[in-house]
Structure 1
């Protein structure tokens, strides 16, 4: 009897889903999925229908015995699932627009995973993910939950602390770095080895080898670094890169080049532009392409989205868990004793050996000395933000902001927080409960 391998995708109407389907098709010989259920909410019904029909055409063209089902019933999707993928956006792109625009009015960065905007996304998202986990504990308690809903590190840490579900966080930044290096040296990814140290969206690459030969000094000396389409393309300060002795994630530009990044955002905001509007236009174009009844493959335009390769990383991880592969992947997992300056239950982004029993964090050989304090400060903020999301405490939310390295006035931060909470009221019931 063939083992049933059911995949539940929560947020199945996402524009990333065709990449996910492509991955399942390509990996079918070693990861023979039998059923894929794409689940979404009522507001995402139209997108789910469009992308779901494309997914069905892709499977039909492949000739593989995989069933693709669409549903607005989350519990139906979860029942009996082997793997659950979460790729959702609570509040949709409208809420992302608030995250990006409101902080700017107070002189602070407006970004969906960093600073005040990132905290608001966490406050909206963590309770929803924990509710999904509660359903999973009843309907598929042995399933793996693979989360690439941002802020991925914070969401994953909340799940690890407040749920019994086995969960791993994913980000596209590490795979994007490998693809950058692959292009730079003209070699396949499997001939490249990197060491990632830090947190989600706050990591440094402290080791780079091609065919076992170190290339880090060569790259540092050339001022090279990888980036992404959703982050402004400011060049790194070459002296900083050499002094760090590591390649920083492009999200670290929000810290190391804060004035420049903030000025760029404020200028765009003055013109009525923000990333949420850009993504909205990109998605409208993508879904228009997806509507084509003749289309039965992942379109090239999908790579223009800032989260390109998320789904590729997710299928790779599932395949490795399923086959006890023992390969090395960069994941968001519990720290344990990997970084001794962080709590054991803190979520870090690090290299892991992937086994059927789960990821095993690999020892870190190099931690940039100048990175330790920043990692600790951001982790303090993250842990307070997680507590605020779970408890609905405004005091804890303000303390989280006051602990963030990019917040320089608690009084101004308090005014900003009050406006953000009111604007997000529909998605933050935990902050508006009345005491009897």
Structure 2
């Protein structure tokens, strides 16, 4: 089966390839890379070459000349594009910050600006997949993952599935903190978990192993909560008040003042850091002496990237370092591989994915993309029933989903009113006047 990776020059692509090499099921017979930046994809192909060295049966890698060539014959398509590059991300962060509101890649005004720029390209990809590889499954890594998946689903229906590593990371960390083996979570006969929300906005509301919900005991244990990332990020008192474990990105909503204070006067946003870091990596890698040197450089850069992830939120919650479990990297790769195997082998694997709502959350439209626990089989990913949402959870979901759908509408129809509505109604944008100025400045700098 051929796997096509769009955004094949992306920094995380080697994580996917490494997972494929370690896959005992050998689901993929060829990897095809496509990227609009030939220098970047050439460097990443060199990293993959180093990973394949010495492997008894490496997966062949080919760089396609164009999008259509990359898609023809694909069984799975990973979409991991970044429209506008890191320079676009910098604008998405700096423009809102200049107006006194949070600038972040997927959350708030920055997420809306990124969606407006990305959705038209993602829709073009969806149309080419439908024309050239109608039986392919598209696994969307592209941020903002929820709204991009929702836009692509208008063309591809249920054959596009969005993934994120934040929810599965949360479940594993919570299980470990509660004294359980995270590996046991893979057995639906023993384990279960209730996670529901939108991409980068969801809650783990139960975590059951052998008939016992581990979450109440975890929430009552101060030391256990202090042992993992979300416990330190949100604090024991607030987590007990919520009665659930939020996705790490909810820190931007619950602690908006503290996070904004930590980033408002920053000398370097996350986008600026990645622009310098990755720009430097690709420049040095292009001049490096052979695949071994390129790979060593990539590994050092990857570790630095993981160490600095969500640094401003960690600073706002007291300042602390990420532990070894969080620095392993990956996440996306493991979820994607499990999703592919679930579809190909019709396994009934349970994963947290971004899929069409159906009746999972009755208050949302059936075609709205939600992030929840799904059962994966030959027909794709089917969302499982979940417990009713509390009013505070549902209210936030409804408001942010309205923002996402308005962003898709604005991108589809070049509708300024829909774009303004998306920005002004976001919980992290405090004024329609500010929203209008952000929109105007983004248009000037496009």
User: What band does the TM-score fall into relative to the shorter chain?
Assistant: 0.7 to 0.9
* 1:411-430 aligned within 5 A: 411-424=433-446
> Does the alignment pair 1:151 with 2:152?
no
* 1:69-80 aligned within 5 A: 69-80=62-73
1:430 corresponds to:
none
1:300: Cα distance to partner? 6.9
Structure 1 residues 300 and 339, CA gap change in structure 2 (3 angstroms)? farther
> Does the alignment pair 1:119 with 2:106?
no
Q: Is the 8 A contact 2:126 2:155 kept in 1?
A: no
1:20 corresponds to:
16
Q: Is the 8 A contact 2:109 2:428 kept in 1?
A: no
Q: Secondary structure at the match of 1:421?
A: helix
Counterparts of 2:346 and 2:269 in 1: how far apart (Å)? Answer: 43
Q: Secondary structure at the match of 2:206?
A: strand
**Deviations 1:183-236 (Å, cap 9, x if unpaired)?**
4336233335422111000000001134442211122223527548xxxx9742
Counterparts of 2:346 and 2:280 in 1: how far apart (Å)? Answer: 39
Counterparts of 1:237 and 1:340 in 2: how far apart (Å)? Answer: 31
Q: Is the 8 A contact 2:130 2:155 kept in 1?
A: no
* 1:279-298 aligned within 5 A: 279-284=274-279, 287=282, 288=284, 291=288, 293-294=291-292
> Does the alignment pair 1:59 with 2:79?
no
Counterparts of 2:98 and 2:301 in 1: how far apart (Å)? Answer: 33
1:282: Cα distance to partner? 3.8
TM-score (norm 1): 0.88
Q: Secondary structure at the match of 1:157?
A: helix
Structure 1 residues 58 and 17, CA gap change in structure 2 (3 angstroms)? same
* 1:16-415 aligned within 5 A: 16-27=12-23, 29-41=24-36, 44-64=37-57, 66-163=59-156, 166-184=159-177, 185=179, 187-191=181-185, 193-222=192-221, 224=225, 227=229, 235-268=233-266, 272-284=267-279, 287=282, 288=284, 291=288, 293-294=291-292, 299=299, 302-303=302-303, 304-305=305-306, 306=309, 308-415=330-437
Counterparts of 1:78 and 1:182 in 2: how far apart (Å)? Answer: 39
Q: Is the 8 A contact 1:206 1:367 kept in 2?
A: no
- Range with greater deviation from structure 2 (219-228 or 237-246): 219-228
Q: Secondary structure at the match of 1:344?
A: coil
1:182: Cα distance to partner? 5.0
Q: Which runs of 5+ in 1 are unaligned?
A: 425-436
1:31: Cα distance to partner? 3.5
Counterparts of 2:214 and 2:232 in 1: how far apart (Å)? Answer: 23
1:285: Cα distance to partner? 6.3
Q: Is the 8 A contact 2:158 2:355 kept in 1?
A: no
1:281: Cα distance to partner? 3.9
Q: Secondary structure at the match of 2:4?
A: strand
Counterparts of 2:174 and 2:215 in 1: how far apart (Å)? Answer: 11
1:302: Cα distance to partner? 2.7
Counterparts of 1:210 and 1:286 in 2: how far apart (Å)? Answer: 43
Q: Secondary structure at the match of 1:9?
A: strand
Equivalent pairs counted in the alignment come to 410
Structure 1 residues 393 and 67, CA gap change in structure 2 (3 angstroms)? same
2:316 corresponds to:
none
1:366: Cα distance to partner? 4.8
- Range with greater deviation from structure 2 (381-390 or 360-369): 360-369
Counterparts of 1:148 and 1:213 in 2: how far apart (Å)? Answer: 33
1:155: Cα distance to partner? 0.5
1:162: Cα distance to partner? 3.8
**Deviations 1:302-335 (Å, cap 9, x if unpaired)?**
3544484212211221121111110100000000
Structure 1 residues 243 and 65, CA gap change in structure 2 (3 angstroms)? closer
Q: Is the 8 A contact 2:195 2:352 kept in 1?
A: yes
1:65: Cα distance to partner? 5.5
Q: Which runs of 5+ in 2 are unaligned?
A: 186-190, 310-328
1:274: Cα distance to partner? 0.5
